[in-house]
Amino acid sequence: MRSVWNHGHVRTDAALTMETGLTPEQRRRALGSVIAAATGDALGAPYEFQAPVVDSEDIDMIGGGILGWQPGEWTDDTSMAIVVLEAAVSTSNRHDLRVESAQDQIAREWYSWSLGTPDIGGLTSQVVRRASDLARANGHYTPRAADFRAAAIAAYEELPATAGNGSLMRTHVAVLPYLLSSDDDAAEGIDTVCRLTHIHSDATEACMLWGFAVRHAILTGEIDVRCGLPRLSEERRALWTERIEEAEIGTPAFFRRNGWVVGAFQASWAAITGVSPIPPGKFDQRDTLVAALESAARAGYDTDTVACITGALIGAALGPKAVPPEWRRMLFGWPGYEVDELTGLVERLLAPMAGPADEEQ
């Protein structure tokens, strides 16, 4: 099954967008990706590390769970994404995450955040520890991007079969600085942020596919998880096509190894495919987004990440108002942000990409 959805928006030519800047609708969709991802993260948090939730039980923004989250509190998924956004806003070179100073900021802030978080992925935690050790050996108080990259390579060499989902949960923000850039620039930006912690081809390719799908949804209003397949080799393209097709005939709970990046990818795509096609009305779209996030949260095990990446993609097509207002009002988390601060951060990143003023502004 080939899933490409358009729910009433005028299709935007990417080349024209690069010349004229982002429209107000595209900027809203970019914000929608971040807000819906944080919403999915907080919604899934209390169900993490547990078995799948049966259909007879409700899913809601209740907080709690094994780690005792507050209602509406996001987890490591959104916290690490915020660091990437802040680095993109801080760099003076067109918000380019490929700049070493931007990556150094990400490394410092991830390390600082890791010292107090109750929740961090196994592979990510190992990379942070190794990077910290390398920094101290080199006479640095905190690790730099080079330390993270070296630590990621060392972790991969030690555990070459390990491909966690910790980079996939933040790839939607890694692609935001490149909405007006070439495909090659966008691919490099996605890959640069991924490889700070994750080297395995399953992880780098999952990030490429999901990142390009988010970018495509923001620019066009369509959801097409296959649009990034041309970035892969012929052999890997065939493998990922099989994985996508498998997700389209399954449910999120079917992919129980969702701590594995491929399992998380498939569970999230199953959640989105399960609510297709997206209807045209705004209230029906809200119901659709809620249904997708609830389905992702029912998957069990790594529910915050599955729901987070589900929100990142469907939110990129529908915008922030598709998230129920009561959920938006509840959102908060490290580093002391609520939804207004998160919105402001995204808007600062997008401001230089704005097109000419029009009646929607």
- Confidence band for 118, pLDDT divided at 50, 70 and 90: confident
Q: Are the C-beta atoms of residues 110 and 128 closer than 8 Å to each other? A: yes
Q: Is 328 part of any domain?
A: yes
Q: Is 19 part of any domain?
A: yes
pLDDT given at position 4: 45
Domain carrying residue 31: 5-353
Q: Is 360 part of any domain?
A: no
Q: Is 155 part of any domain?
A: yes
- Tell which wins on pLDDT, 288 or 160: 288
Q: Is the pLDDT of residue 304 over 80?
A: yes
pLDDT given at position 11: 37
Q: Is the pLDDT of residue 360 over 60?
A: no
The rounded distance, in Å, linking the Cα atoms of 262 and 268 is 10
Q: What is the CATH number of the domain that holds 241?
A: 1.10.4080.10
Q: How many domains does the chain have?
A: 1
Q: Is 339 part of any domain?
A: yes
Classify residue 280 as exposed, middle or buried by CB count within 10 Å of its CB (0-12, 13-18, 19+). Answer: exposed
Q: Is 361 part of any domain?
A: no
Q: Is the pLDDT of residue 235 over 90?
A: yes
Q: Is 76 part of any domain?
A: yes
The rounded distance, in Å, linking the Cα atoms of 252 and 258 is 9
The rounded distance, in Å, linking the Cα atoms of 323 and 32 is 8
DSSP letter string over 245-263? HHHHTS-GGG---TTBHHH
CA dihedral angle for residue 187, residue 190, residue 193, residue 199, rounded to 10 degrees? -80
For the chain, the average pLDDT equals: 91
The rounded distance, in Å, linking the Cα atoms of 224 and 237 is 15
Q: Distance of alpha carbon 246 from its chain centroid, rounded?
A: 21
Instruction: Identify residue 222 by its one-letter amino acid code.
Output: E
- Confidence band for 6, pLDDT divided at 50, 70 and 90: very low
Cis? peptide before 277, omega within 30° of 0: yes
pLDDT given at position 356: 72
- Confidence band for 357, pLDDT divided at 50, 70 and 90: low
Residue whose pair of structure tokens reads 């490429």 in the numeric block: 208
pLDDT in tens, 14-65: 544 556 899 999 999 999 999 999 999 999 999 999 999 998 899 999 999 9
Instruction: Identify residue 323 by its one-letter amino acid code.
Output: V
Q: Is the pTM of this model over 0.85?
A: yes
Q: Cβ of 30: how many Cβ atoms within 10 Å?
A: 30
For residue 278, the 8-state DSSP code is P
The rounded distance, in Å, linking the Cα atoms of 79 and 189 is 19
Nearest one of 32, 61, 74, 82 to 342, comparing CA atoms: 82
Q: Is 238 part of any domain?
A: yes
